[in-house]
Structure 1
Amino acid sequence: VRSVLDLACGLNPFALPWMALPAGASYLAVDVDERLAKVFDHLGGAWPVGLRGLAHDLTSGPPEATAEMVLLLKAIPCLEQEEPGAGRRLLRSLDAPVVVVSFPARSLGGREKGMRETYDRMLREMVAGSGRGIEVRSYPTETVYWLVRNGGG
């Protein structure tokens, strides 16, 4: 992967040294927090990867950017709470060959409350008919979905 678009990135870009991206790869870190985006833009020269930060509200859709891989980690529940349907619209508008989406498996209090099943059903409804295959990986605190465009990625 030579280009990554990290939507609702939070602190994810601080993990760049462990991502094994090749030198010269591009990584666009997008977050609604303008201060955070500026920090990543400022740190761009600290890694051999081309890191850029961008402030953007995802309820209005994705930024105008292309990438081989899009990361959307633990963000859809927040988008759906902010504006019902925003997560589905965002997923449907992404053109990358690979989109990695994750959902929390436990509440903030650490309890399992059927979240895996609820979010699994939600995601499958969101991507139904999109032409993407789904690969699932479950971890103790998170479920990760690799949405791969059929015929590419």
Structure 2
Amino acid sequence: MSADDVQAVASAVARSKRYTVVAPDTVRRLARKALVSSQGNVPDAVKRTKRGLHEIYGAYLPGSAPNYRSMLRRLRPAAESGDAEQMEAALDSAMRVHASTRERLDELSLFYREVFRRVPQPTVIADLACGLNPLSIPWMGLDSSVTYLASDIDTEQARFLGEALTLLGVEHRSEVLDLVLEPELAPADLTLLLKTVPCLERQRTGVGWELLERVPSRWLVVTFPTKSLGQRSKGMFQTHSSAFDAYAAQRSWRVEQFELSNELVYVVDKDPDGEPAGS
């Protein structure tokens, strides 16, 4: 595999309207893997790369790219109005664009109530492979001084979230990160990994589980889908719960579990013998 072949595949994929916004590092990573599988056949590698991007990214979005400008046009007057109901309606509409976030919307208040019943009030939250979940911050009931660190592989989404969190008055950083490449991660009190581990494991075995150890946070919220995007269970609850329980059993973590209709949720304290928050 030559560097020219990798660039040829990456350039062809980047010309696709659907994937032009994906982080170049991610496209090149998938292109290299596709070229190996296709034995150097560039046209076949382009197809394989697009297929890989669909599995980890495209399947969660509508047929056409999200209209972030339109979403911001609706969010801006809602934010300026100071009306909480108007703002939540605008945020709800925006979050429905992303399939993974949409599945959680009807239980969003329950989700965060159960999370923050178990987790001390954080000062810094990291939301990795975040999708549009950062827009749910008004449902979290957090102190206004919280800093929110949002990251994903979509460059346009990162820009949109940066503007949206500014409108919400939330101190934040929104950036592009490919977790498979094991980037350096900023410390946080709480890290959200919502349906992230299975997606990472499909790309490189072990990287999703290793991330749980690697993130510089005492508290984690790790979730797994219990139904496919087509709403079929396929034994997903048993598969994910068995895998997580086996992994956690080898560590001195304190773990609590609860369920939503489509999601298995683990709240993890990686240092249960540490000092309580605020001590």
- After TM superposition, the score normalised by the length of structure 1 is 0.92
**Contact 2:148–2:172, Cα closer than 8 Å, also in 1:** yes
Matching residue within 196, 199, 221 for 1:75: 196
- Kindly provide the amino acid, as one letter, of the partner of residue 231 in structure 2: G
* Paired position in structure 2 for 1:4: 125
Matched, 1:151 2:273: yes
**Contact 2:147–2:170, Cα closer than 8 Å, also in 1:** yes
Within 1, Cα distance between the matches of 2:190 and 2:172? 15
| Paired positions, count | 153
Q: CA deviation at 1:62?
A: 5.0
Bigger Rg, structure 1 or 2: 2
Deviations 1:25-74 (A, max 9, x none): 10000101122112222333212321221100001225430111000001
CA RMSD for the aligned pairs?
Answer: 1.6
Gaps of 5+ in 2: 1-121
**Contact 2:151–2:174, Cα closer than 8 Å, also in 1:** yes
* Paired position in structure 2 for 1:27: 148
The 5-angstrom pairing of residues 45-124 of structure 1 reads 45-124=166-245
Deviates more, 1:117-126 or 1:140-149: 117-126
Gaps of 5+ in 1: none
Within 1, Cα distance between the matches of 2:184 and 2:133? 18
Matched-pair identity in %: 36
Deviations 1:1-46 (A, max 9, x none): 1110000000001111221111121000010112211222233321
Structure (1/2) with the larger helix percentage: 2
Deviates more, 1:105-114 or 1:23-32: 105-114
Within 2, Cα distance between the matches of 1:62 and 1:73? 18
**Contact 2:256–2:268, Cα closer than 8 Å, also in 1:** yes
- Highest RCO, 1 vs 2 (Cα 8 Å, sep ≥ 6): 1
Structure (1/2) with the larger strand percentage: 1
- After TM superposition, the score normalised by the length of structure 2 is 0.52
